[in-house]
Structure 1
Amino acid sequence: MAKQKAVIAPVFLRVKAFIVDMFFIAMPLFYITTYLVLGSKEAFQSNQIAIALIWLAYGTICAVFYAKSAQSPGYKFSNIYLIDLRSGRKISFFRAFLRFLCFILAGFSMIGLLICFFRKDRLCLHDILTHTAAVRKSDNG
């Protein structure tokens, strides 16, 4: 069986996948923490530890999805996969979590997220640092 060819997913597909992941993974975590655990919006807004723990839980859940099937719910919806650039295979949980941490750090400067618009391969800083890429199956092969 021949190897499936893949191309780096367009930026708009990756953004769409991120938005879907926010709604399917992050929003329930925020809701449960705000109203079931802390009891009110005011308690949530004043609890930075809870917010940080939600983002760590979000990153962990996404890393599990990437390690298990190379797709989060948003990636599945957008029909893209997260792969290792060197081997073409799915990445480990630890590498996926490291990618999430790099994404958070890259987001603080915004340069790490906007760098994809200035690179021919369209990779963001967190993908460059972890040697990963969001790809989709090639139309011609």
Structure 2
Amino acid sequence: MQKGRWRDIKQGRIAPPSMPSSSPCGAPASYFTRFKAQVVDTFMLYTPILYLVTYVILGRAEEFRSNEWGPFLSVALYGILSSILLALHGQTPGCKAYKIRVVDREGKKIGFLRALGRFFLFLLSALLLFGIALPFIRQKGSTLHDWILDTSVINDDAPSSVD
């Protein structure tokens, strides 16, 4: 494609240059789809972890409520498990259910440490509420943890493949 002057483009003599897409491999996932995937992950990953920590490790619910390490251990295990899944497959069960994927700027899977950092930044942004509300303010619609770590959640329209 030839490079032209603005006047030529405006008058229609040549086509405007195409703008590069924000994500090389897919359209960004909607905020509502991301929320639904998080709810699925909560029920499929976090709830069994809570049950194991409460009844298998600590023995009973009263012990879980009186122990400050129980909730911390549950959240840490959830973060580690979801980070492993993101590093290996680029998806958690909720992401797979709603056909979305977490990728870096080049469209590749993120590593374990980046996924773990993304999880703990998600906790921080949820605590501040600003990071969770950021997609409604930003034009790209990315959350604080995605913006800081340069990741994005995209629609995964490709057929599933075995890695």
Distance 1:124 1:49 in 2: 29
Distance 2:59 2:112 in 1: 32
Aligned to 2:82: 62
Aligned to 2:68: 48
Aligned to 2:132: 113
Task: Give the residue type in structure 2 aligned to 1:26.
Answer: Y
Task: Give the residue type in structure 1 aligned to 2:74.
Answer: I
Is there any run of 5+ residues in structure 2 with no aligned partner, and where?
1-23, 158-163
Question: Equivalent of 1:91, from 96, 102, 110?
Answer: 110
Task: Give the residue type in structure 2 aligned to 1:13.
Answer: T
Aligned to 1:8: 28
Q: Are residues 1:25 and 2:45 paired?
A: yes
Greater helix fraction, Structure 1 or Structure 2: 1
Provide runs of 4+ in structure 1 moved above 4 Å: none
Indicate if the aligned counterparts of 2:102 and 2:152 stay in contact, CA closer than 8 A.
Answer: yes
Distance 2:110 2:156 in 1: 17
Q: Are residues 1:104 and 2:123 paired?
A: yes
- Aligned-pair identity in percent equals 34
Q: Map Cα deviations across residues 46-105 of structure 1 (whole Å, 9 max, x no partner).
A: 1111211111110111111111110000000010000002x1111000000000010111
Alpha-carbon offset, residue 38 of structure 1:
1.5
Is there any run of 5+ residues in structure 1 with no aligned partner, and where?
none
Task: Kindly name which structure, 1 or 2, has the bigger radius of gyration based on alpha carbons.
Answer: 2
Indicate if the aligned counterparts of 2:86 and 2:102 stay in contact, CA closer than 8 A.
Answer: yes
Alpha-carbon offset, residue 134 of structure 1:
0.7
Distance 2:126 2:85 in 1: 21
Aligned positions, number: 135
